[in-house]
Chain A
Amino acid sequence: MSTYTRLEFGLSIFLVILFLIPVGVIIFVAEESPFHQVSGEPVNEAVLATGITVTSVKDTTWNLPGAIGGKIYVLTDNTGEIVTVSTQSFDSGEAREAAIRLYNAHPVGHGKPVGSLVVLGQHLVYVTPANSNILARLAPELKKKVLP
């Protein structure tokens, strides 16, 4: 039976730690989005504040446990860019976290999920495409609602 040197054990432990360092640091660096009650309709308020045009709005309830309703906004700006924003409120932090996990569990291939998911208190805001001037303009307004 082989006996392993300190170097070998050290390198093995180092390998495990090396994986946990980036994961831990990133979780530490990324900002939290605690579950809290956000009053009103944050997307609608952000749209009004930024002067982006709402092309259509309709009600929607996602087929997820704990989802209690939201809106689908189709937004456009003066450049003609079109963005679809779907919002949904959840009745508990667990239900919202489950929806976030579901989103992250659906990457395309080995890549990233489609669109961008914004977490605002009890709301999830799903925006496609993930990169757009409209979302960049809405972001400062939406960020005001992230923390209680």
Chain B
Amino acid sequence: MSEEQTSQSNGLPSKKVLGLFALAMINVAAVLSIRNFPSMAVYGWSCIGWYIIGAVMFLIPISLAGAELATGWPQGGGVYAWVKQAFGEKGGFTALFCEWSNNLVWFPTVLSFIASTLAFALTPELANSPWYMFSVMMIAFWGTTAIAYFGEEISTKFSNVGVILGSIIPSVLIILLGVWWMSSGAAIVLPPFTLAAIVPTINFSTLPFFATIVLLFAGMEMAGFHALETKNPQRDFPKAMALSAIIIVVCTVLATLAIAMVIPADQLNLASGVMQAIEYFFTAAGVPWLVAPMAVLITLGGVVSLAAWLIGPAKGLGIVAEEGNMPPLFDKTNKYGAPVAVLLIQALIGSLISLLYVFLPSVNQAYWILSAMTVELLCIVYVLVFASVIKLRYSQPNTLRPFKIPGGMIGIWFVGGLGMFGTLFAFVVGLMPPSYFTTNGFVYVGSVLLGTFLLAVPPLIFLKFKKASWCKPAGGVR
């Protein structure tokens, strides 16, 4: 692999190791999740309609906006660099911090998924043991952090191999089994296809699900965090966005339909763990021996997804610290260019939250509220990104953008407006508590908003206490 080197702001060399394929795989790792398929398969044909809503209101706008921003401002930091250009340091730091803090609450979820899926390959009863769960969660979490420690080159290789083995191959396998199922003449549990069947039911009951769907494709901006290590960001970002979006949509829609055609909806209860659905699916298809290898592959897919979300925002926060917006304690990079201090603090906080998640009994309602907070935090990030892509057309009209959202100002308002509307709407309906909630509505909404505020406000505090000594002089030595 040919490598170029440029200097980072800290003076350390930044290896240009990422090409089109690697960038696309970062996005695929962040977004494509087999975990979603059984949950969406419950909706039968109408899952197509829900996916279309997610694509139109979020996936397409964020891909276009991300491509324009990444090619116009290919500095490191991803959403931080983009939003900073439009709304200054406060805006950029807030957007990035919301993405980072959303992760810290989300990590126990994906870690728990990894541990329970691996248990399925070993002995499913293991998932009942909090000690097994916590041990595997910590091995996955700190192991992924260790991979991030060794810098972009190692984590890219891990991501490329992992996403193919853990996300794309299992998805393709599910699709092929679905095709085989149809062609073998076996019973299809879905009713006959009609155009009306793909229209989702949208009413008061399904509004909260709308928020979930809008953010189904969250993570498409993840490649932007790796701009400093990209060989030719202005050429590769738009292509990577398009390639990853196509892989994600094709795998997601077809694999979901394959599951929906084979497994009766009432067998997909409890958002039936993905492995329970896979076991039913593969047993029905006559290949039960594939269940355990699939569990291992899907576990790997979970780890790769964790890695994508763990590394990207941490790199962004490392750049914020490098620019002197956080105390020097956070601005520690190693010889591989990895932001070790941020990675370590992230791992510590994530471990503490995971500890509470696994060992505290009856965390169901509490974790629901925390999940609601992660939705709100992500909405803040994307509202700021969409607002930035619009504002920058006015404030920096002459900045060269190798990729521009087509249609001039109408196009930018249409795409940015659609994305902003989708995420604002998701923010509002994300505050609706489920009908069954033993905590009253005001406490629920208050808890979610207060928690979101607390997790979004640190940038303003850091900037308030910012000292001149936090900034590095030219040359990178403080």
Which residues of A line the B interface, CB within 8 A? Answer: 2, 4-5, 7-9, 11-12, 14-16, 18-27, 29-35, 58, 60, 62-66, 72, 81, 84, 86, 88, 92-95, 97-119, 124, 126-133, 135-136, 138-139, 142-143, 146
Contacts and interface: CB of A to CB of B under 8 A. Distances in A.
Given A62-B270, A110-B215, 10 more contacts: A16-B352, A27-B356, A29-B439, A30-B365, A64-B270, A72-B269, A106-B113, A109-B217, A109-B218, A129-B205
A26 B368 CA distance: 10
A109 B211 CA distance: 11
B111 to A, nearest CB: 8
B462 A11 contact: yes
B441 to A, nearest CB: 11
Contact of B329 (A9, A18, A58, A113): A9
Contact of B369 (A26, A33, A63, A81): A26
A117 B270 contact: yes
B363 interface: yes
B212 A11 contact: no
B432 A131 contact: yes
Contacts of B161: none
A44 to B, nearest CB: 16
A100 B209 contact: no
B461 A111 contact: no
A43 B374 CA distance: 31
Interface stretch (B33-41, B152-160, B230-238, B406-414): B33-41
Interface in B235-274: 265-266, 269-274
Interface in B20-34: 31, 33
Where chain A touches its partner, the secondary structure class is mixed
The residue in B33, B361, B454 that gathers the most chain A C-beta atoms within 10 A of its C-beta is B361
B435 A106 contact: no
Given A129-B205, A139-B436, A111 B362 contact: no
A23 to B, nearest CB: 6
Contacts of A29: 366, 369, 439, 443, 447
12 contacts: A11-B326, A14-B458, A15-B345, A22-B455, A25-B450, A94-B129, A107-B35, A109-B31, A110-B378, A126-B269, A131-B205, A139-B437
A112 B371 contact: yes
Contacts of A18: 454-455, 458
Contact of B439 (A30, A99, A106, A127): A30
A19 B373 contact: no
Given A7-B327, A129-B206, A104 B39 contact: no
Which 3 pairs, one residue from A and one from B, show the smallest C-beta to C-beta distance?
A8-B327, A111-B212, A22-B451
B49 interface: no
B189 to A, nearest CB: 15
Contacts of B447: 22, 25-26, 29
Contact of A86 (B130, B266, B280, B371): B266
A23 B105 contact: yes
B361 A112 contact: no
Contacts of B365: 30-31, 33
Contacts of B368: 104, 112
Given A16-B349, A135-B436, A107 B109 contact: yes
Contacts of A5: 327
A92 B130 CA distance: 13
B367 interface: yes
Contact of A63 (B125, B279, B328, B357): B279
A110 B205 contact: no
B349 A19 contact: yes
B329 A94 contact: no
B280 to A, nearest CB: 7
